[in-house]
Amino acid sequence: VYMEASLWYRRLCHISEKGLNYLVKKDVIQGLKNAELEKCSHCMVAKQIRVSFKKHHSSRKSELLKFVHFDICGPLKVKSFSGVLYFVTFIDDCSRKLWIYALKTKDQV
């Protein structure tokens, strides 16, 4: 009986268990007594909702160059024509201006 209920469930495009039992009760689906369905992983994924992130206040500095973020990247897998293997980025917190400098060695920072 489960296989038959499962088959009707898929044929009716993942109808709810309540809806399937309603059709059984109204004799639309004959030969099925009670439609007990297992949890459907596809339906659970489709019905998930996005959870919003908490809003936070911007803590950006109000003066230029008061706070600067930086990151050193490398070594790169392929050396450039000029021999660059690393690069460093600087970002001003106030203006969000970005500077990128190419480096041959890490100690050039």
User: pTM, whole model, 2 decimals?
Assistant: 0.47
| Residues belonging to the chain | 109
Instruction: Burial-class residue 32 by CB neighbours within 10 Å (0-12, 13-18, 19+).
Output: middle
Q: What count of other Cβ atoms lies within 10 Å of the Cβ of residue 20? A: 22
pLDDT tens per residue, the chain (109 residues)? 555 888 888 888 888 888 888 888 888 887 777 777 888 888 888 888 888 877 776 788 889 999 999 999 999 999 999 999 999 999 999 999 999 999 999 998 8
Using DSSP, state whether 21 is helix, strand or coil: helix
Each domain of the chain, given as residue ranges in start order, spans: 2-46, 68-108
Torsion (CA) 11, 14, 15, 16 in degrees, nearest 10: 140
Question: How many helices and strands in the chain, by DSSP H and E?
Answer: 3, 3
